[in-house]
Amino acid sequence: MLSRQILTKSPASIRLVSNTTFIRNKVTLPDLDWDFGDLEPHISGQINELHYTKHHQTYVNGFNDAVAKMSDLKDLLAKEPTPAIAREIIALQQNIKFHGGGYTNHCLFWKNLTPEKNGGGQLNKGKLKDAIVNQYGSLESLQKLTNEKLAGVQGSGWAFIVKNLANGGKLDVVQTYNQDTVTGSLIPLVAIDAWEHAYYLQYQNKKVDYFKAIWNVINWEEAGKRFEQEKILS
């Protein structure tokens, strides 16, 4: 029988399993590189503060809870390998997908935003700019395509500019619903949040204006790093 003993306080817990001790850390909100008001006038400080401290925190908490429950269920399954436990594991996967997507998508989002005073919106010379121009003709064309995908989100979702490793590393724009993220061969370079909580306090029903404005604070330097760091699969 497995034994468990919580020995430390949050955020980490220590488990004792068959005389083996390991620390189970929890995910946390990432540090921001800028202050909440630094993206104004394009995204208000109030939106950023609520978005970060309330919405993103909810996904962080939900993901940690779901992962902990999954760990418990795996232990339980090892003792009681039954269809009932298997079904509980299957049911929990939706929570992991939703909150895990919310956690990771927002981490990408904060990092790929930066104030204009720090270079927001500026795509400088480099491999990413070359790839954008080669594929789309101009940054404006890529932005137009991305905005069309964002405008097509019915309800809540995201748009990602990705590097597609399964397609020779070419760029692509992928739209998802809810907190679905991109994984596998799709390397996210820029993630844009199309949930109402990302814009409604400032833009109300004019989400298209938010989609236009956000390009002024996109951190293309970060996107360029992500583009160059990933390796092409065979």
Binding mask 26-45 for Fe ion (x = CB under 5 A): --------------------
DSSP string of 54-84? Answer: IIIHHHHHHHHHHHHHHHHHHHHHHH---HH
Smallest distance, Å, CB 85 to Fe ion? 33
Residue nearest to Fe ion (CB): 193
Relative to beta strand 20-24, strand 170-177 is unpaired
Annotate each residue in 159-198 with x if it binds Fe ion (CB under 5 A) or - if it does not, as one string. ----------------------------------x-x--x
Q: How far is the CB of 64 from Fe ion (least distance, A)?
A: 18
Under 8 Å between Cβ of 161 and 173 = yes
Residue 97 CB-density burial (10 A; 0-12 exposed, 13-18 middle, 19+ buried): middle
| Closer by beta carbon to Fe ion, 109 or else 227 | 109
Per rule CB under 5 A, count of chain residues that contact Fe ion? 3
Residue 198: CB minimum distance to Fe ion, A: 5
Shortest separation between residue 56's beta carbon and Fe ion, angstroms: 7
Sites for Fe ion among residues 192-221 (CB under 5 A):
193, 195, 198
- Quick one: how far is CA 7 from the chain centroid? 31
| Residues making contact with Fe ion (CB under 5 A) | 193, 195, 198
